[in-house]
Structures are given as structure tokens and as C-alpha cells.
């Protein structure tokens, strides 16, 4: 897959700086902070960035899979809640998304 020069900016926008603000993180604004709620929010962010549905499914699926490996649902809910006010927690979540985004686009 040929990567266009704008991809690094999209990675930052999709999972980096954008995710550090409580509104943009939106994990999730509605719902109970479940993995599925996060997936829906992820897919919305991907769509807003005008990326293909296939890429969105891969990136968001990878992200959720990694979260499920790292956190129980209860722990995930706690870190999501904490991420709304704590940049360090938000960064932990963003790093997972960034890694998945790079994996999908660059491999």
C-alpha cells in the first residue's frame, strides 16, 4: 500500500493530540465505557478523517483487541473515565490506537 505524505498528520490527528482533549477523546460520550462503545467512537473518528471503512474496521478492531488483552472491562472503564481529565491516562489509550493505525497502514 502506498502511503501518502499526509498519513503522519492523520495519525496524530486521529489518535494523538486530538485524543488528549476530553471532548475529542469521547470514549464514549454516551454509553457505559464498554469496549463496543469505544469501537463505535473510533469508527466515527475514522469516518470524520475520511478514511475508508476497511481501514476503520482494521484500526478500531486492532485497538479493541489490544485493550481487551491489556484490561479487564472494569479496568478499561476506569481508565476511560480517568482519561477524560488525566492526560497520562488519555495518552495510554491514544498510544494503543496509534500503534494499531501504524500497523494497519504501514505493514
Going residue by residue through the chain, which has 107 residues, state the pLDDT in tens, using 9 for 90 and above.
Answer: 434 444 444 554 555 434 433 333 334 445 666 888 888 888 998 889 888 899 999 999 999 999 999 999 999 989 988 988 999 999 988 999 899 989 988 87
3-class secondary-structure state, position 25 = helix
3-class secondary-structure state, position 42 = helix
Residue 19 confidence (pLDDT) = 40
Query: Residue 17 is inside which H or E element, if any?
Result: none
CB 50 within 8 A of CB 88: no
Rounded to an integer, what distance in angstroms lies between the CA atom of residue 51 and that of residue 45? Answer: 9
> How many Cα atoms within 13 Å fall on the side-chain side of residue 32?
3
Amino acid at each position: 500500500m502506498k502511503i501518502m505524505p499526509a498519513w503522519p498528520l492523520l495519525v496524530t490527528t486521529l489518535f494523538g493530540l486530538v485524543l488528549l482533549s476530553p471532548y475529542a477523546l469521547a470514549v464514549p460520550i454516551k454509553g457505559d465505557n464498554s469496549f463496543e462503545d469505544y469501537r463505535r467512537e473510533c469508527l466515527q473518528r475514522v469516518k470524520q478523517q475520511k478514511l475508508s471503512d476497511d481501514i476503520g474496521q482494521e484500526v478500531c478492531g486492532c485497538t479493541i483487541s489490544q485493550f481487551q488483552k491489556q484490561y479487564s472491562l472494569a479496568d478499561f472503564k476506569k481508565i476511560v473515565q480517568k482519561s477524560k481529565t488525566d492526560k497520562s491516562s488519555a495518552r495510554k489509550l491514544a498510544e494503543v490506537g496509534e500503534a494499531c493505525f501504524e500497523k494497519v497502514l504501514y505493514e
